[in-house]
Amino acid sequence: MKRSRSVDKRAAVPEAGSQGRVLSRKKKESRLAWMLLGPILLYFLLFQAFPIVFGLGIGFTNWIGVTSRPTFAGLSNFTRFFSDPFYLRTLWNALYMGLLVMFVNVTVGFAGAVLLNAPMKGRTLIRSIWYLPAVTAPVATTQIFLMFIDPSSGIANRVLELIGMEPIAWSYSTFWMVTWIVIYSSWRGIGTSMILWLAGLQSIDPAIYEAADIDGARGWQKLVYITLPSLRNITTFVLITGFIGALQIFEPVLFISQAGPFGSTDVIVHRVFRDFYGDFNFGMAGAGATVITLIILVFSLVTLRWYQVAEK
Amino acid sequence: MQATGKFPWARYAILGVTCLLFVYPLFYAIGVGFMTSNQFATTPPSLIPFQRPFSFHNYQELLLINTQGEPNMPLYYINGVARTAWYIVWTVLISFVGGYVFARLRFRGKNIVFLALLLTTMVPPVVTMAPTYLMMARFPLVGGNNILGRGGSGFLDSYAVLLLLNLVNVIGIFLVRLSMNTFPRAIEESGTMDGAGIFRVMFQLVFPIQKPILAYVAITTGVLIWNDWYVPFVFTDRAQLQTLASAVSRLTSVAYGQYGIPDWPGIISMGLGLTIPSVVLFAFFQKYIVAGLASAAVKG
pLDDT score recorded for residue A182:
95
In percent, the amount of chain B with pLDDT more than 70 equals 94
pLDDT for the residue numbered B227: 95
Looking at residues B227-236, what average pLDDT do you find?
95
Nearest-angstrom CA–CA distance, A127 and A122: 9
> What's the CA gap between B246 and B234, in Å, rounded?
9
Report yes or no: A113 and A226 within 8 Å, Cβ to Cβ. Answer: no
Task: Please name the residue of chain B whose CA is at the shortest distance from the CA of residue A217.
Answer: B3
Residue pLDDT, tens place only, B167-185: 999 999 999 999 898 888 8
Question: Where residue A5 falls among pLDDT bands split at 50, 70, 90?
Answer: very low
- Label residue A37 by pLDDT band (50, 70, 90): very high
Whole-Å CA distances, B5 to A202, B16, B297: 16, 16, 27
Residue A202 near residue A117, CB atoms below 8 Å: yes
B185, B282, B300 member nearest A233 (Cβ): B300
Residue range A40-98, pLDDT digits in tens: 999 999 999 999 999 999 999 999 988 888 999 989 999 999 999 999 999 999 999 99
Give the model confidence (pLDDT) of B243-254 as tens digits. 999 999 998 877
- Looking at residue B240, its amino acid is Q
B161 in A contact zone (CB under 8 Å): no
Determine how many CB atoms are found less than 10 A away from the CB of residue B11: 17
Q: Would the pLDDT of B283 be above 60?
A: yes
C-alpha span between A99 and A86 (Å, rounded): 20
Averaged pLDDT, A98-120: 91
Q: Give, for B150, the enclosing helix (H) or strand (E).
A: none
Q: Which residues in A lie closer than 8 A to residue B135 (C-beta atoms)? A: 50-51, 54
Contact A272 B134 (CB under 8 A): no
Burial of B291: CB neighbours in 10 Å, binned 0-12, 13-18, 19+: middle
Q: What is the pLDDT of residues A244-288, one digit of tens each?
A: 888 899 999 999 998 878 888 999 999 999 999 989 999 999 999
Helix axes B110-122, A19-44, angle to 10 degrees: 20
Confidence class of residue A134 from pLDDT cuts 50, 70 and 90?
A: very high
pLDDT at A11 over 80: no
Residue A109: which pLDDT band, with cuts at 50, 70 and 90?
A: very high
Does B200 contact chain A (CB < 8 Å)? no
Expressed in angstroms, the distance from the first to the final Cα of chain B is: 22
Name which residue leads in pLDDT, A50 or B5.
A50
> In degrees to the nearest 10, what's the CA dihedral of A202, A203, A209, A210?
90
* Torsion of Cα atoms, A57 then B164 then B215 then B294, to 10°: 20
| Min Cα separation B45/chain A (Å) | 6
Chain A CA closest to residue B168: A44
Kindly list the residues from chain A whose CB atom is less than 8 angstroms away from the CB atom of residue B128. Answer: 48, 51-52, 55
What are the tens digits of pLDDT across the range B29-57? 999 999 988 888 888 888 888 888 888 88
What pLDDT sits at residue A303?
66
Close Cβ partners of A96 (under 8 Å, ≥ 6 residues apart): none
3-state class (DSSP) for residue B120? helix
Q: Do A33 and B272 touch (CB under 8 A)?
A: no
In this prediction, residue B129 has a pLDDT band, given cuts at 50, 70 and 90, of: very high
Summarised one tens digit per residue, pLDDT across range B58-84 is 898 888 888 777 889 999 999 999 999
Q: Assign A307 a pLDDT band (cuts: 50, 70, 90).
A: low
- CB distance A43–B167 less than 8 Å? yes
Confirm if A252 and A184 have CB atoms less than 8 A apart: yes
Contacts of B124 in chain A (CB under 8 A): 244, 247-248, 269, 289, 292-293, 296
Q: What's residue A7's pLDDT?
A: 43
Peptide bond into B131 cis (omega under 30): no
Q: Which of B238, B253, B243 is nearest to B277 (CA)?
A: B243
Q: Using the beta-carbon criterion (under 8 Å), do A248 and B299 form an inter-chain contact? A: no
Give tens-digit pLDDT for A111-131: 999 899 888 888 889 999 999
Q: Report pLDDT for B243.
A: 95
Is the per-residue pLDDT at A18 higher than 80?
Answer: no
Of the candidate ranges A192-206, A210-224, A252-266, A291-305, the one whose mean pLDDT is the lowest: A291-305
Q: Are B268 and A147 in contact (CB under 8 A)?
A: yes
Most confident of A132-146, A293-307, B135-149: A132-146
Using the Cβ of B15 and the Cβ atoms of chain A, whether some distance falls under 8 Å is answered with yes
Given CB atoms, is B248 within the 8 Å cutoff of chain A?
Answer: yes
In single-letter form, the type of residue at position B273 comes to: G
**Helices B264-298 & A138-148, crossing angle to 10 degrees?**
120
B-chain residue closest to A227, CA distance: B2
pLDDT for res B1? 42
pLDDT for B39 equals 86
Please give the single-letter amino acid code of residue B143.
G
How far is A197 from A114, CA to CA, in rounded Å?
8
pLDDT at A213 over 90: no
Q: What is the DSSP string of A210-231?
A: HHHHHTT--HHHHIIIIIHHHT
Is B198 close to A32, i.e. CB distance below 8 A? Answer: yes
Q: Is the pLDDT of residue A19 over 60?
A: no
Q: In angstroms, what is the C-alpha Rg of chain A? A: 26
CA distance A267 to A177: 13
What is the amino acid identity at position B180? M
| pLDDT value, residue A20 | 53
